[in-house]
Amino acid sequence: MFDFGFSELVVIAVMGLIVLGPERLPKVARQAGQWIGKLQRYVSDVKSDINRQMDLDELRKLQTEVKDAAGSMENSFRSAVDQAQSEFDSISGSVDGTQASSSSGSETLTDWDKVYAIRRSREKVVERRHERAKALGHKLPRRR
């Protein structure tokens, strides 16, 4: 901050001794040391507050970056799920179409036939899951 050499400090001490006298000089020196200490603590507190605020700003920026990345991943995941769902729907439609064409001549599937076909396919999927879980040694909940 200020550049004081040894000779300047000696001149200040001699002037203080002459002006203040030997009785009051130690008290004044102690008081000046306390003020300097308070000033140093205040400056260090301000520095630490500024550093804390900078760290907090960096954390906020990092949080927004993470949120943006999570949002983009969620969007890409949703698009992949939507694409897979459309593929499954098209496969299901083609399976339903082949079932309708493979049935005898002019006979078409009713709504109930479609419902039962979907139900049977769901039951097959559930059975495959249970078989896979048993093969892996997982404990299964009771069936309804």
Give the model confidence (pLDDT) of 85-110 as tens digits: 888 888 887 776 665 555 544 456 67
Question: Quick check: pTM over 0.75?
Answer: no
Checking if the pLDDT of 59 tops 90, the result is yes
Best CA proximity match to 17, nearest among 7, 8, 6, 28 = 28
The mean pLDDT value of the chain amounts to 84
Furthest C-alpha separation in the chain = 126
Q: What is the pLDDT of residues 39-54, one digit of tens each?
A: 999 999 999 999 999 9
pLDDT for the residue numbered 144: 61
H or E stretch at 81 = helix 6-102
pLDDT for the residue numbered 89: 84
